[in-house]
Structure 1
Amino acid sequence: MMSFLLFSGLLILICMIYPHLPFVLRGLTCTFSGGMKTGIVGRTGSGKSNIALTLFRIIDPTVGQIVVDNDISTIGLHDLRSRLSIIPQDPTMFEGTPRSNPDSLEKFTDKQIWEALNCCQLGEEVKKKESKLYSAVMENGEDWSIGQRQLACLGRVIWKKSKVLILNEDTASVDTATDSLIQKTVREQFSEATVIAIVHRITSLLDSDMVLLLDNA
């Protein structure tokens, strides 16, 4: 199991450009135990999404330490990011096909692709298309709904089988039915993973083992 320790994680947004801005996270100390699901809530601007950014080292703490079994500042960016998975707030699909989107390097068989599509509730939708796995997908997935793009992103991380999954307000723009599908899939496919859910809907907290409330007051 993997575990998190966020110790005094202080950071400044775009600190090289605006060094006069206040810290977004101040004195944050908490532990996310391996295999548990933690929900993160807080008002807009409280720093929820910045936790995800620091985990992937898109921005680094000004003070403090983030540990994923080891101090992440000592891990190469490629190694670190290859071991974490995220479903972003704004889902992205690439121009290509349902087959190439999650597997651009063609590491998996068609059977494995179908299994993952079925797991993320997109199998039936892809089967309706004339060319099925090899149907065209427009740039940014514009011919797919936001909910379908969210499910496609979920399918992408199912293949990766990461021990750590971050959900960054992944259901903020989808209807309650799609929200339920995503929550059900996460429960089934990531039951042994460490899940950090930055949530928009309070109902998304129902499966959480712990809730972290951020406040920038």
Structure 2
Amino acid sequence: MHVGPIRPAHATCVARPYVHFPWRNEDRNRGEDGSGKSTLIQTLFRIVEPAAGQIQIDGINISSIGLHDLRSRLSIIPQDPTMFQGTVRSNLDPLEEYADELIWEVVKKKAGKLDSADFFFSILRAVTENGENWSMGQRQLVCLGRVLLKKSKVLVLDEATASVDTATDNLIQLTLKQHFSDCTVLTIAHRITTVVDSDMVLLLDHGLIEEHDSPTKLLENKSSSFSKLVAEYSTRSSSSPQK
């Protein structure tokens, strides 16, 4: 990974000027591997800095504020969730910032909607290093619990449901709709099914934002790259042998 200012000479992502996300919308970045999706998010968290232009949140240039102030107001659920050796509680609240009552509220939100809710029966359940005694879906739910506690106004999902089962994916999507309606949710994805119900889609190709608009408007334009991708996906799905 390149560390330092982003320049067209060394890969990465070049954004169109004045791409605007309406507040509290759900926006999706769609693109193949290497198209620049993750680099765009790295720039949002200022892991890399743009060589030109700026990213604004509520009219504030994020480069003008401290890293702690910026990152404390953003949340991310990555494809490979991080867990630490300890308990469910220590993983939900690693910095011990929240009261037990708030922790229990988050646990009940998850456990009340799961058939196998006993894995969240106690916030004292043991967690081994890297969460190896937990499934991928369970680890993602712990990450979701952290975000519920933090109540950030900007949430990034970096292929967060790519490796989970359908039931866990549905639970995550339901939780997002119920508890993050007043947040801006940015989803990184390469699967068409993940992006078609979003408010806005950014289609990335070789580090460039090729298209950005609502899925409905992009689909109405049959010559758009997004419309062609959806048509291609539909054709492949219909021609796949049924099991």
Residue 123 of structure 2 aligns to a residue in which SS? helix
From the superposition, tell whether residues 155 and 27 of structure 1 become closer, same or farther in structure 2 (CA, over 3 Å). closer
The structure where helix makes up a greater share of residues is 2
Q: 1:66: which partner in 2?
A: 55
Count the aligned residue pairs.
Answer: 201
Unaligned 5+ segments in structure 1 are 1-12
In the alignment, the residues of structure 2 paired with residue 161 and residue 97 of structure 1 have an alpha-carbon distance, to the nearest angstrom, of: 22
Summarize the alignment of residues 111-130 of structure 1 with structure 2, pairs less than 5 Å apart: 111-121=101-111, 124-127=118-121
In the alignment, the residues of structure 2 paired with residue 89 and residue 152 of structure 1 have an alpha-carbon distance, to the nearest angstrom, of: 13
In the alignment, the residues of structure 2 paired with residue 49 and residue 17 of structure 1 have an alpha-carbon distance, to the nearest angstrom, of: 15
Does residue 18 of structure 2 align to residue 24 of structure 1?
Answer: no
Displacement, 1:109?
2.8
In the alignment, the residues of structure 2 paired with residue 16 and residue 113 of structure 1 have an alpha-carbon distance, to the nearest angstrom, of: 38
In the alignment, the residues of structure 1 paired with residue 98 and residue 5 of structure 2 have an alpha-carbon distance, to the nearest angstrom, of: 43
State which of 19, 32, 52 in structure 2 corresponds to 1:43: 32
From the superposition, tell whether residues 138 and 15 of structure 1 become closer, same or farther in structure 2 (CA, over 3 Å). closer
Tell me the TM-score normalized by structure 2: 0.76
Structure 2 counterpart of 1:25, one-letter code: C
Residue 166 of structure 1 aligns to a residue in which SS? strand
* More displaced 10-residue stretch of structure 1: 110-119 or 136-145: 110-119
Does residue 64 of structure 2 align to residue 79 of structure 1?
Answer: no
From the superposition, tell whether residues 212 and 74 of structure 1 become closer, same or farther in structure 2 (CA, over 3 Å). same
Query: Contact (CA 8 Å) 2:77, 2:156: kept in 1 or not?
Result: yes
Q: Point out the structure with max Rg over C-alpha.
A: 2
Identity %: 54
Displacement, 1:179?
1.1
Residue 137 of structure 2 aligns to a residue in which SS? helix
In the alignment, the residues of structure 2 paired with residue 160 and residue 202 of structure 1 have an alpha-carbon distance, to the nearest angstrom, of: 29
In the alignment, the residues of structure 1 paired with residue 105 and residue 168 of structure 2 have an alpha-carbon distance, to the nearest angstrom, of: 19
Summarize the alignment of residues 154-193 of structure 1 with structure 2, pairs less than 5 Å apart: 154-193=144-183
Structure 2 counterpart of 1:125, one-letter code: F
Residue 130 of structure 2 aligns to a residue in which SS? helix
In the alignment, the residues of structure 1 paired with residue 70 and residue 110 of structure 2 have an alpha-carbon distance, to the nearest angstrom, of: 25
Does residue 96 of structure 2 align to residue 101 of structure 1?
Answer: no
* More displaced 10-residue stretch of structure 1: 88-97 or 15-24: 15-24
Query: What per-residue deviation string (whole Å, max 9, x for no partner) do you get for residues 152-199 of structure 1?
Result: 101100000011101011011112221111111111110110110112
Residue 125 of structure 1 aligns to a residue in which SS? helix
Displacement, 1:117?
1.8
In the alignment, the residues of structure 2 paired with residue 206 and residue 84 of structure 1 have an alpha-carbon distance, to the nearest angstrom, of: 24
Q: 1:10: which partner in 2?
A: none
Q: 2:132: which partner in 1?
A: 142
In the alignment, the residues of structure 1 paired with residue 126 and residue 45 of structure 2 have an alpha-carbon distance, to the nearest angstrom, of: 31
Residue 101 of structure 2 aligns to a residue in which SS? helix
Q: 2:215: which partner in 1?
A: none
From the superposition, tell whether residues 26 and 146 of structure 1 become closer, same or farther in structure 2 (CA, over 3 Å). same
Tell me the TM-score normalized by structure 1: 0.85
Query: Contact (CA 8 Å) 1:95, 1:137: kept in 2 or not?
Result: yes
